[in-house]
Amino acid sequence: MPTVLVTGSNRGIGLEFVRQYVAEGWRVIACCRRPDSGTALKVVGGNPRIEGLELADPASIHDLAVRLSGEAIDLLVNNAGVYGPDQTFGKTDYSAFEAVMRSNVLGPLAMVETLLPNLEKGGMKTVVAVSSTWGSIGGNKWGGHYLYGPSKAALNMVVKAQAIDLKDKGITLAAISPGWVRTDMGGEGAPLTAQDSVADMRTRIAELTLADSGSFISHAGGSIPW
Amino acid sequence: MGDSMPTVMVTGANRGIGLEFARQYADAGWTVIATCRNPGRADALKALAGDVTVQAMDVGDPASIRAAKKGIGDAPIDVLINNAGLLGGRDQAFGATDYDTMGEVLRVNVIGPLAVAEAFVGNLEAGKGKRLATVSSRIGSIAENGSGGRYIYRPSKAGVNAVMKSVALDLAGQGILVAILHPGHVQTDMGGPKAPVSPADSVAGMRAVIDGLTPETSGHFFNYDGAVIAW
């Protein structure tokens, strides 16, 4: 069975990715900041391998790569991300903005750079970044979201660039929007359950081919404008 | 000249495209507030003829922006040009990313223009021109990226494009018009001496784009010749 590595896997969409891939019999490496307090992860059946990872810290990513040295990773799900505080014009907390950029842009970029040998050993050779429609510049009709939106637009650019640079190695990358999901981030009023969103995204991931690499797609299918 | 001439504020005005913006607006008789990190070393800027005030400001440092705002006060600004930006070094190949440098570039290129806009929006509202322009780059077009690489610079410009698209939407109600600009490949320290476009032509083109903004085109991504660039 294939191996998937999921970041930010202690709650929300990441936890649901772990649950569903475990249920399918995959080997799952579940990463989160504080593995000791990742209690929801520990009650997932099938014993996913839990690894500590602070995405905003390149040294932590390097340490993870050392622990995973020589192991194949078929699918990397760059899921971890943060939203940040008040995103109204005039109220930006600039150090919070920097932190959002580190987690949402530098982290996923560094994961692919650092775990490339593991991905090359895998059969699927696939990386998906959980992005957001708030990162669609062309689709932005609402304003606001000053930390989160630009971080996801920048992440989309990273995915596009990596797709170009890694095509020769047969690695497929895509940015994917999970939709508006009932999680800590999405809130209780969101229309989609994490189960349905992740089931959709798994279908999209299974459909990806190298020809699709570098695209920005919706969980429901179809592409999203940059 | 006199009270009827408009005011432009240009960040990163000590060299390259920023210096050329300051020069052209000063030559046109505008009042120019030219900002740079270190006015003590901005000899070319200080040598410009015309009504040019040099103000220290590091757009990567919110405290420095607050201090500059204090210095400039409530003076009306007709056109604010977010020009200051960093490239982040020449080696930006896959696998070679310097994450500290990337953090700094994102701070200066993405967060800086937003912080400047937030600090000086009152000055823009007090001005008649009500135009906010940001010098981005076609290298930040995700749609046009066909060659990969440049892992620091590209995401920073895609990020600032996203910021300024939101600013255009949020400030439309105040009548403030936003331009996101590609200056062309210009002969500057960043662009190199063999670049095909002169600073004079690039800036003349961008000034025309800024001048021609309408509520319908606010928030678009423009080449210096006025053509719209895909996100």
pLDDT for B3 equals 59
pLDDT for B1 equals 42
pLDDT for B62 equals 97
In percent, the amount of chain B with pLDDT more than 90 equals 96
In the structure, how many helices (H) and strands (E) does chain A have?
7, 7
A144 to B170: CB separation less than 8 angstroms, yes or no: yes
The model's confidence at residue B2, banded by pLDDT at 50, 70 and 90, is: very low
Select the residue of A90, A150, A161 nearest B154 (Cβ to Cβ): A161
Q: Pick the residue from chain B with its C-alpha nearest to A166.
A: B94
B118 and chain A: CB distance < 8 Å anywhere? yes
What does the alpha-carbon distance between residue A150 and residue A167 come to, in Å, rounded to a whole number? 26
pLDDT for B161 equals 98
In percent, the amount of chain A with pLDDT more than 70 equals 100
Q: ipTM for the complex?
A: 0.97
What does the alpha-carbon distance between residue B17 and residue B209 come to, in Å, rounded to a whole number? 15
A164 to B99: CB separation less than 8 angstroms, yes or no: no
Select the residue of A142, A144, A156 nearest B158 (Cβ to Cβ): A156
Question: What would the pLDDT profile of A35-67 be if each residue is shown by its tens digit?
Answer: 887 678 877 777 799 999 999 999 999 999 999
In percent, the amount of chain A with pLDDT more than 90 equals 91
What does the alpha-carbon distance between residue A20 and residue A1 come to, in Å, rounded to a whole number? 14
B95 and chain A: CB distance < 8 Å anywhere? yes
What does the alpha-carbon distance between residue B41 and residue B13 come to, in Å, rounded to a whole number? 12
Select the residue of B99, B146, B167 nearest A106 (Cβ to Cβ): B99
Select the residue of A97, A106, A149 nearest B166 (Cβ to Cβ): A149
Q: A with B: how many residue pairs have Cβ under 8 Å apart?
A: 138
Question: What would the pLDDT profile of B99-120 be if each residue is shown by its tens digit?
Answer: 999 999 999 999 999 999 999 9
The model's confidence at residue B74, banded by pLDDT at 50, 70 and 90, is: very high
* Structural tokens at position B158: 């895609």
Asked if A93 contacts B114 with a C-beta cutoff of 8 angstroms, the reply is no
How many Å is the Cα radius of gyration of chain B? 16
pLDDT for A39 equals 72
B110 to A165: CB separation less than 8 angstroms, yes or no: no
CB-neighbour burial class of residue B214 (10 A; exposed 0-12, middle 13-18, buried 19+): exposed
What does the alpha-carbon distance between residue B107 and residue A92 come to, in Å, rounded to a whole number? 13
pTM for this model (two decimals): 0.97
Q: Is a pLDDT exceeding 50 seen at residue B223?
A: yes
What single letter denotes the amino acid at residue B109? N
β-pair partners for B56: B36
Chain B 55-94, CB below 8 Å of chain A: which residues?
Answer: 62, 93-94
Question: What would the pLDDT profile of A137-192 be if each residue is shown by its tens digit?
Answer: 999 999 999 999 999 999 999 999 999 999 999 999 999 999 999 998 899 999 99
The distance in angstroms from the start CA to the end CA of chain A is: 34
